[in-house]
């Protein structure tokens, strides 16, 4: 079961991968028109979370509103 969304001020800032809710921004594509959920980690900048798989120059969620820890991975049953 997923936990509840938490205020962004309480998000880990140590590079932990989390889900964030906010507007995606990128140097090539600009900014999303509506907020969404993104898989991110903090890169040490106070209110900027880098999308997983990108560096800090490619894509990020700047000033997200909420965060949530990742759920545990699925388990294999019957194998």
pLDDT per residue over 21-78, tens digit each? 998 877 666 666 788 898 998 876 677 888 887 765 667 888 899 999 998 888 887 5
pLDDT confidence of residue 17: 92
The whole-model pTM stands at 0.76
Q: Is the pLDDT of residue 2 over 70?
A: no
pLDDT confidence of residue 56: 54
Three-class DSSP labels, 4-72: CCEEHHHCCCCCCEEEEEECEEECCCEECCCCEEEEEEECCCCCEEEECCCCCCCEEEECCCEEEECCC
């Amino acid at each position: 079961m997923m936990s509840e969304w938490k205020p962004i001020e309480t998000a880990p800032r140590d590079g932990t991968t989390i889900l964030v809710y906010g507007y995606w921004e990128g140097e090539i594509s600009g900014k999303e028109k509506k907020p969404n959920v993104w898989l991110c980690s903090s890169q040490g900048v106070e209110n900027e979370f880098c999308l997983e798989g990108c560096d800090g120059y490619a894509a990020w969620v700047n000033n997200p509103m909420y965060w949530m820890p990742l759920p545990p991975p699925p388990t294999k049953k019957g194998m």
